[in-house]
Amino acid sequence: MSDTVSRRSFVSSLVAATGAASLARAAADAPKLYGKPVGLQLYSLRNYLPKDVPGTLAQIRAMGFHEIEGGGDYKMGVEPFKAAVKSAGLKVTSAHFGYEDWQKNTDAQVARATAFDLKLAGCAWIPHKKEFTRQDCLRAAVDFNRWGKAAKAAGQRFFYHAHGYEFSTSPDGTLFDTLMKETDPALVFVQADIFWLTHGGANPVALFDKYPRRWVSTHLKDMAKGTPTGLTTGSADVESNVPLGTGTIDWPSVLRAANKAGVEKHYIEDESSSVLAQIPKTLDYLRSLRLS
């Protein structure tokens, strides 16, 4: 079978999975929340992108997105991947790079962010053993300050994607509080994954109020009813990701608080096996809020 036929078949499967209703909305842009754009975190389509980058990017645009958050180039190389993104009518506006990559060669990560024309370059995980400890936290704070300084010198902002395990108790309150205390607010910012903050036992609204101007973006991800919270494992069943508005999170309150705290961008992330069916429902819900 030719590559062209394979690609057509793959894109057809994406369209079928997304459904006709999604196609009817293809011309509708993703909503803005208080004027802030809503993009898509590419990890949501991790099972599709490696099979067909151009086809999957086209489907992302067809859903209504203009912005994406990524980090990798799917073995294409930065420039070919950027060309594919541009051809699809998309733009990478934020990216995660691995802790070990930042640690091994900070300049290389800053250069990669520069190659993607990014203003936001972050890290999504702090390596640790079974339990995230104060020592892990303090080590990361030192690293984050250094990486944040390098990013700032290049016209970027370094951010950390909170993952829920940071809410173990600490003399400062929680280890997240320790991380905020030990990092320079001019150099280190935070991406609020609303699911993971909630899963770790935190109150996202209270955190936004407590640390204004430290937050640059969010991951919008709802939590299925009955999902346990107060767990500092940083892991959960992916099927506990449900369309926004169908789970347990009070989105109007969260989004108001995020806007007040200075959040600039939002990215939908859905890790479930039903991602293609769920993303359009999430977009419909966000449109219904009419937060402008």
On whether residue 165 sits in a domain, the answer given is: yes
Q: Has residue 56 been placed in a domain? A: no
Q: Let me know: does 197 contact 234? Beta carbons within 8 Å.
A: no
> Is residue 232 a contact partner of residue 167, using CB atoms and an 8 Å limit?
yes
Q: Is residue 222 part of a domain?
A: yes
Domain presence at residue 168: yes
Q: State the pLDDT at residue 7.
A: 44
pLDDT at res. 14: 54
In order of 8, 13, 61, 111, the CA distances from 55 in angstroms are 8, 11, 10, 28
Q: Is residue 8 part of a domain?
A: no
Residue in 58, 73, 63, 81 with CA at minimum distance from that of residue 8: 58
Name the β-bridge partners of 33: 36
Residue 22, pLDDT score: 45
Q: Write the CATH number for 135.
A: 3.20.20.150
Burial class of residue 12, CB neighbours in 10 A (0-12, 13-18, 19+): exposed
Closest CA to 192 of 223, 215, 168: 215
- pLDDT in the model for residue 30: 95
List the chain pLDDT tens, one digit each, 292 residues: 334 434 444 445 555 555 444 444 444 899 999 999 999 999 999 999 999 999 999 999 999 999 999 999 999 999 999 999 999 999 999 999 999 999 999 999 999 999 999 999 999 999 999 999 999 999 999 999 999 999 999 999 999 999 999 999 999 999 999 999 999 999 999 999 999 999 999 999 999 999 999 999 999 999 999 999 999 999 999 999 999 999 999 999 999 999 999 999 999 999 999 999 999 999 999 999 987 6
Print the domain residue range for 136.
70-82+90-273+284-288
Q: How many domains, the chain? A: 1
Which alpha helices (DSSP H) does 200-274 contain, by range?
204-210, 251-261
Is residue 134 within 8 A of residue 97, CB to CB? The reply is no
Q: Is residue 187 part of a domain?
A: yes
Domain membership flag for residue 14: no
Residue 64 domain-assigned (yes or no): no
Q: What is the pLDDT of residue 290?
A: 81
CB 222 within 8 A of CB 249: yes
pTM of the model: 0.92
